[in-house]
Structure 1
Amino acid sequence: MKFTLWAFVGLVLYTVLIDFLLYRLILKNSDEHPSHFQFPYGAFWHYSIATFFIFAFAIFYSRITVTHSSATYVYFQWFMMAYMLIYIPKTFYYVGDKILGKFHKVKTKFDDNGKIKRMNDGKYPKISRKKFLSQVGIITASLPFISLLFGVMKGRFNFSKKYTKLSFPNLPNSFDGLKIVQISDLHLGSLNSNYQEMEEVVKLINAENPDIICFTGDLVNNFYEETIGWEKVFTQLKARVGKYSIMGNHDYGDYSKWPSPKEKAENLQNIKDAHQRLGFKLLNNASSVIEYNGDTIAMAGVENWGHPPFPRYGNLEQASEGIENIPFKILMSHDPDHWDAEVVPQTNYDLTLAGHTHGMQFGLEFKGFQWSPAKYKFKRWAGLYQADKQFLYVNRGLGYLGMPARVGMPPEITIIELTRGPISNDPM
């Protein structure tokens, strides 16, 4: 309840503040001295839909915790998207005016040599400060609007393949060249029956001819009903050795208030059953030994293990029972924080596969450089990490949650090739 209240208060304050500051800016840049309630200045408030968004947020957010319908998540995410398309550009408009306005003021007072200009000598092109700031405001407001709109229209389904080759001296000869495809964070309720787009994902994965497919959690937002109808898509995934999956923090129904423990337990069991229905072998604090030509490797999976407020159901010791002597081991653990907390200090898993972060569905990646707000929340948030002889790969997710968009952080299909040799990694 406290989180709901603070989210509500925060949104109210942010919305009112931005509208108030922007309104003052409009008046400041006006050549007139208008009545605050006459057109067009009064229209700023008439058409400012802050009140609607504030109350809509309160209603939708409170319903998410008690609803038994995944449709509410769809309504909520589109509400959030509409809000962001309006208020993020407003914020950029105001900030751009303040920053570049000061720059413009300095440039008009001094010449290139740092000397004070004679303002009326006719040597410099004249542009009024108000016109300059108006143009700046339009540009700075347009950039986030266009980016978000692109993230909705194209970015959320602009699937990206990420290739990595890893070498291990203890990988059995029979598994040299093993190809693993990892996907994560489907959030089927948010996808809202976009079967055609996910069928494209299946084609992209099958074209890689994977030996193993790993799904690293968050099949749904909250409810097993979200899985209904997806069999026709995901049962078409093909892997020579097998398809394995684990649970994510959203798969336990913890983000809803249930009429009874029995109903919550039934929802959880139905979600577990859905993994098998979609063609995956669910590893809940369990492992599976894979044998080929007399050689063996192990695939293990833990239930969700995260730092608060994320649930902690994972039992690494239980998941590792019976595979202690297997020469090469792979672990699936939804939350990458688990790797630093338990996997590296306590085990010798060669490769851990995680998801969870989505890369915040927003960021920048260019020629080896990557940035996202996710880095301020998670130590390991996207891509490949190494600690001595152990590796972690964090998948950026296929689906989306909260906002139906991805900006600079496309949905990911990870392809990892394992080879036998000196310990090394080669992102391709």
Structure 2
Amino acid sequence: MGGPDAVLVFAWVAAVVAPILSMVMIRLSLSEGRIFLARAIAGVSIVAWALWVWAFLIEPTTLTVRHVTVESASWVGPPVRIGIISDTHVAAPHVDVPRVAGLVERMNGQAPDLVVLLGDYTGGHEPAEARAAPDRSEILQGVLAFKALRAPLGVYGVLGNHDSWFDEAAIEQALTQANVRVVENRAVAVETDSGRFWVAGLADMVSRRTRPSIPQALSAVPESDPVILLTHWPDPFAETPRRVALTLAGHTHCGQVNLPLVGRPILPSAGSRRWPCGLYDEGSRKLFVTGGIGVSILPVRFRAPPEIVILTLKAAP
């Protein structure tokens, strides 16, 4: 049993045992006539138990469909509805193949024009050769579940750091079998009745086979054509040129935990700390960072619910 799985088991045990211990402490306090203490224990216990259960056992299993509209000066032509899925982390706590199939069905119900997958389909940090066969199979079956996605303009994807640690070639092969076009430091043209735009993608930042390169990814794209750039990490946005109508990223999980007043105490990279969650506009350059679906390290989400996104990209007035 891996660390996150052990923590999840502990979360379930604590959810059951904590109320019992609280009741014992309350009865002892009452028997000693310490009514104020008993009330304090009861109040603190109820709040702590509710937050614990919500963060470890309930919120990570929810699914929000988030709707966003972005107006970009670099976009031309009619609006396009983009479905965004990221960080499924299959084989980590809370996400298995049936759950991926369920969110694919939810996405299809939104009828997007195209769908983009932003990496980290793999749960855990171990390479494929260090995992048991059922674990490897579950991860690849989770990728193959994307074959059921329906989008008239296609499905496009990039790899994430967990995929690089697992087995880049195996994940890319599974994506290809699922009819997902992997755009790694390259761009593909999308032809529509009203014109052409491009979907470009970057290699993962810890890839063992290549480094992310924006110039390489955009090399085939004419200057006058609009382009959407996919990256797992938000960090490359620092070097994204204005000609890119929209950059889409995942990786951050929106911090997984978003505390009142404190904010998001744990973010995985410098770019994640600068652009942790949501829509950013820097000098007319647009970035959207999704919180994704799964969990990493700890099986917890608090005020950072799992999400799929329908983003409508349109030309600025």
Asked whether the two chains share a fold, i.e. TM above 0.5, the reply is yes
CA contact 1:381–1:394 (8 Å) conserved in 2: yes
Distance 1:304 1:363, change over 3 A: same
d(CA) in 1 for partners of 2:301, 2:246: 27
The residue identity in structure 2 corresponding to 1:250 is H
CA deviations 1:339-385 (Å, max 9, x no partner) are 12x22xx55312110111112322269xxx99432479611111111
Distance 1:165 1:294, change over 3 A: closer
Aligned to 1:328: 226
Aligned to 2:69: 165
| 1:271 and 2:150 correspond | no
**Where do 5+ consecutive residues of structure 2 fail to align?**
19-31, 129-135
d(CA) in 2 for partners of 1:383, 1:249: 20
d(CA) in 1 for partners of 2:302, 2:46: 15
| 1:372 and 2:272 correspond | no
Secondary structure of 2:156's match? strand
Larger helix share, 1 or 2: 1
- 1:240-279 residue pairs with structure 2 within 5 A? 240-253=152-165, 267-279=167-179
| 1:318 and 2:216 correspond | yes
Aligned to 1:3: none
d(CA) in 1 for partners of 2:109, 2:59: 22
Q: Which one has more relative contact order, counting CA pairs under 8 Å at least 6 apart?
A: 2
d(CA) in 2 for partners of 1:269, 1:312: 12
| 1:81 and 2:8 correspond | yes
Distance 1:415 1:237, change over 3 A: same
Secondary structure of 1:235's match? helix
| 1:147 and 2:59 correspond | no
Match of 1:299 among 180, 194, 199: 199
d(CA) in 1 for partners of 2:301, 2:152: 32
Q: Which is worse superposed, 143-152 or 160-169? A: 143-152
CA contact 2:101–2:145 (8 Å) conserved in 1: yes
**Where do 5+ consecutive residues of structure 1 fail to align?**
1-71, 91-127, 255-266, 423-428
CA contact 2:11–2:57 (8 Å) conserved in 1: no
Distance 1:376 1:225, change over 3 A: closer
d(CA) in 2 for partners of 1:162, 1:170: 23
Secondary structure of 2:276's match? coil
d(CA) in 2 for partners of 1:417, 1:278: 25
CA deviations 1:123-160 (Å, max 9, x no partner) are xxxxx996534533443344233223233433122100
Distance 1:165 1:370, change over 3 A: farther
Distance 1:272 1:370, change over 3 A: farther
Secondary structure of 1:205's match? helix
CA contact 1:298–1:326 (8 Å) conserved in 2: no
Match of 1:177 among 73, 79, 89: 79
d(CA) in 2 for partners of 1:169, 1:253: 37
d(CA) in 2 for partners of 1:290, 1:143: 51
Q: TM-score, normalised by structure 2?
A: 0.79
- 1:322-361 residue pairs with structure 2 within 5 A? 322-340=220-238, 342-343=239-240, 346=241, 348-361=243-256
Aligned to 1:196: 98
| 1:415 and 2:310 correspond | yes
The residue identity in structure 2 corresponding to 1:285 is N
Aligned to 1:101: none
What is the number of equivalent residue pairs in this alignment? 288
CA deviations 1:186-244 (Å, max 9, x no partner) are 11121577333333212211111111101111111343544333366321111110101
Secondary structure of 1:363's match? coil
d(CA) in 2 for partners of 1:301, 1:410: 26
Aligned to 2:133: none
Larger radius of gyration: 1
Distance 1:370 1:171, change over 3 A: farther
Match of 1:393 among 269, 272, 288: 288
Distance 1:232 1:331, change over 3 A: closer
Question: CA-atom RMSD, angstroms?
Answer: 3.2
The residue identity in structure 2 corresponding to 1:317 is P
- Could you tell me how far 1:246 is from its partner in structure 2? 0.5
